[in-house]
Structure 1
Amino acid sequence: MSGPVRLTSLAHGGGCGCKLAPAVLREIMSKMPAAAAFPDLMVGTETSDDAAVWRLNETQALVATTDFFMPVVDDPFDFGRIAATNALSDVYAMGGRPILALAIVGMPIASLEPDVIGAILAGGASVCAEAGVPVAGGHSIDSVEPIYGLVALGLVHPDRVLTNRGARAGDVLILTKALGVGVLSAAFKQERLDPAGYAALIASTTRLNSLGAELPDVAGVHAVTDVTGFGLLGHALEMCRGAGLSAEIEAGAPALLDGVEALVTSGVRTGASGRNWASYGEAVREPPGLPDWRRDLLTDPQTSGGLLIAVDPAAADRVLSLARERGFDSARVVGRIADGPPEVRIV
């Protein structure tokens, strides 16, 4: 009798590595007709921000986002937890607090038992419960590959919205989670990931970025985004384009998840890492002699990755202390914002 179907075997990709390559997405978006002016639309598609923001009244703005993907692990409960954590992150990245979620479900009904699908939904609901929000509905279809995610809605004061475009020259860049989710997930699919590596993968991808809801209270925080499928370099570049400034990223500064360096130096990488570099490499300056594996980590797609925060140097220690108080022990200063064209320099 055959064993249970591996969720990852039913999908051509997994997690945020399933995202369209940045260059492809930009081409698609460039062909969309310009939206009419809406005075209450505070954040739209202009700078590829993490969520839309709509002003409701003088004290409330609605943060709205959706995120879904294919399995990054085989355990259905863990898959649900990861996908939900990742979706809620976009609300936190805008400085908001989630209030409501809707489930997005596409499952190959002929391949998966109802109990497996139920476990995926239960995993997502458990994370939403941790965040203090209900999964109040959703939509499901019979699809070729398993897909799960959320519509996530939140609230923020209109004067306290955090975007990816507010960085200022001289700001330092703080990343709150370690890199390497893509490498670990690739090793998992190749059956090369040991239990310690799997534990590190789950711990990172299921840690809610609820810190983001506290960042509007910290004077000197100017811009925030979460690092997901485009990797650290890609999301730093979006921040640069939004602000019209440059960024310097220190190649060895980000923390790495346990076991990642050994795996990546042995050749484990994701296809999305190469696609990311091909999409935005012309806007990245790398130093001579940078090892390929270092660049692979900087372009590694992060499923449910950390927050990238641009903050005045005088407030950097406060942000780092707050992050570590909230359990983000891997928070590090990874670079800075500088005057110059919208590009990223690896130093």
Structure 2
Amino acid sequence: MSSSGRTNMKKILLTLLSLYLLTLTPLWAQVSTPSTPVVRKGARATLETPKAQPSTSRTFVHEEGRIANALQSASWLRSVYRLIDLTTPANAPLYYPEVTTPTRANLFAQICQLYQSGKLRVYEYLDGEEQLDEAHLLPYRDFLDRFHIPYKVEGKGAKEVLTIQPSDLPTTEVKSYYLKEAYLFDEATSTYDRLVLALCPILSTVGDYGAVNMPLFWVEYEALQPYLSDQLIPLSKQNAAKRASLDDFFTLHLYEGEIVRADHLLGRSLVQSSTSAEDLKKEQTRIEDELKAFGSRLFLPDSTLKHRPSTQKAKKVPTPKASPSSKSSKGGRSTTRSIRDRG
């Protein structure tokens, strides 16, 4: 083949190679396009708009079993039961509003709504320590029958639906709660915490012999907690601004209530262990003081830490010659000692 023929052949090959690369350019551009589209003014977006997430009062991450793990890893633990009286001004956020509206409901009304919809499991109340297990689950229909709350049954079998009028729920008659909390210290992380473990609403009615208080059921606070962070509430009667949630109310321990039982009394309440009202008050005060004293002894303030002796070895400093006035009669040694050398 002549030189001119070889030149023409190279030109043809280069042309074919250029055409082949041009056919690959759209494919390469498609692969390298960013996954996030850039929508310009007047352009039409082709991606589906993501659904808006429901707004909450604050970011909340529910860790399943977090409280159970904290209790298991604790090196020091005390559990107490408090009576939370809703007529006390500090506990008013748990009682209001008395009448449930489409946008607002008090704590017991919210628990009943979650209970009825199957989002929350509750456990029957027992004398003594609560049993939060499968064997003591309380079905919603059994709860309604046990406390004589009227309802209608619609459908049969698996399609059975219980219909309840909101006015038939005793939301205004629950005027107190039992609250179980744990004080614990984790030596591995050097953390001291106070956790709400469970709640028990108490129904207050008037019987033939006067006022009667009936505990309804137990509910685990860890299961209830995610639902309490959505609704904003005022934290006091003096300030109507809705700046916090019911979860904040419990997490910040803004509730007030006297201790009615402790874990070291073998299932007996303080009333059963006390012989008089004075003994009851003394025992309540003693337990409160023990809990406060343990927490205060765990950590030293910074002012104390500054004066603690150093663990590092001190450097040897040449001992200065003693002046004649500081010599003693024995061996000529000084009788004065440095403050660092004392004790």
Question: TM class by shorter-chain length?
Answer: under 0.3
Please, what TM-score do these two structures have when normalized by structure 2? 0.19
Higher relative contact order (CA 8 A, sep 6+): 1
Larger proportion of helix: 1
